[in-house]
């Protein structure tokens, strides 16, 4: 049997608004995933370090502070540099449409906005991880 999907929920940057991150963490746990929550005020280095240590399939960043254009690319770059380019990096928060487009061009996954249901998020993660696992087997 394949191992449970392992997700790192992370709060990068200086912002402490963690309602979204904690609700998401609880919802993913209830959907049967293994969830690790970093806690607050994490630098990209700290997040990637944790991701490496616990060997995650997915990293989800929660950002409400407007710092997404700096923090997402920084985490992406460090994941790639550490041989974790296949980890699904995605996230949520208050992120304008055109920034989402730009971030997705850099290889960042879906970015969920306010009002997203847990189901949408869970389905997305399952599909993406299955796809990645399948292509890894083939490869």
Partner 1 sequence: MGKPGDTTRKEVRVSAQKPQSMKSLAAQYAKWREKVDALPARDAQFISVSGVEAPFLCTPEDVKDLDYERDLGFPGEYPFTRGVRSNMYRGRLWTMRQFSGFGTAKDTNRRYKFLLEKGQTGLSVAFDMPTIMGYDSDQSRARGEVGRCGVAISCLENMKTLFDGIPLNKVSTSMTINAPASILFAFYIAVGESQGVSSHNLTGTIQNDILKEYIAQKSFIFPPTPSIRIITDIMRFAKDHVPRWNTISISGYHIREAGSTAVQELAFTLADGFAYVEAGIKAGLDVDEFAPRLSFFFNSHLDFFEEIAKYRAARRIWARHMKKKYGAKKPESWLLRFHTQTAGCSLTAQQPENNIVRTAFQALSAVLGGTQSLHTNSMDETLGLPTEKAVKIALRTQQLVAHETGAANVIDPLAGSYYVESLTDRMEQEAEAYFEKIDKLGGVVAAIEKGFMQREIGDAAYKYQRQIEKKERIVVGLNEFVDENETIDIDILKIDPKVEDDQAGTLKMVRERRDGVAVKNALEDIRTACRDEGINLMPKILHAVKVEATLGEMIQVMREEFGEYREPPIF
Residue with Cβ nearer partner 1 (36 or 132) = 36
CB of 104 to partner 1, least distance (A): 18
In the complex, the smallest distance separating the C-beta of residue 58 from partner 1, rounded to whole angstroms, is: 16
Which segments of the chain does DSSP mark as H helices, in order? 19-30, 44-54, 68-81, 97-105, 118-138
Q: Which residues pair with residue 34 across a beta bridge?
A: 6
Beta-sheet pairing, 88-93 with 58-63: parallel
Q: Within a 13 Å sphere around the CA of 87, how many CA atoms are in the beta-carbon half?
A: 30
Q: How many whole angstroms separate alpha carbon 81 and alpha carbon 83?
A: 6
Residues making contact with partner 1 (CB under 8 A): 9, 13-19, 21-23, 25-27, 29, 35, 37-41, 43, 64-67, 69-71, 94, 96-97, 113-115, 117-119
- Please identify, using beta-carbon distances, which residue of 85 and 113 lies nearer to partner 1: 113
β-strands 88-93, 111-112 pairing: parallel
- Shortest distance in whole angstroms from residue 118 CB to partner 1: 6
Of 35 and 89, which has the nearer Cβ to partner 1? 35
**Of 52 and 69, CB closest to partner 1:** 69
- As measured in angstroms, the least distance from the Cβ of 115 to partner 1 is 5
């Amino acid at each position: 049997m394949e191992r449970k999907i392992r997700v790192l929920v992370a709060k990068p940057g200086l912002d402490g608004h963690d309602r979204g991150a904690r609700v998401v963490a609880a919802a993913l746990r209830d959907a049967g995933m293994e969830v690790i929550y970093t806690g607050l005020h994490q630098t990209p280095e700290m997040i990637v370090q944790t991701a490496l240590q616990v060997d995650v399939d997915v990293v989800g960043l929660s950002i409400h502070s407007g710092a997404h254009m700096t923090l997402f690319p920084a985490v992406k770059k460090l994941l790639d540099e550490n041989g974790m380019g296949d980890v699904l990096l995605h996230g949520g928060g208050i992120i304008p449409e055109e920034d989402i487009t730009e971030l997705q061009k850099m290889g960042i996954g879906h970015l969920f906005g306010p009002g997203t249901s847990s189901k949408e998020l869970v389905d997305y993660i399952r599909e993406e991880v299955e796809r990645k696992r399948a292509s890894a087997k083939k490869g």
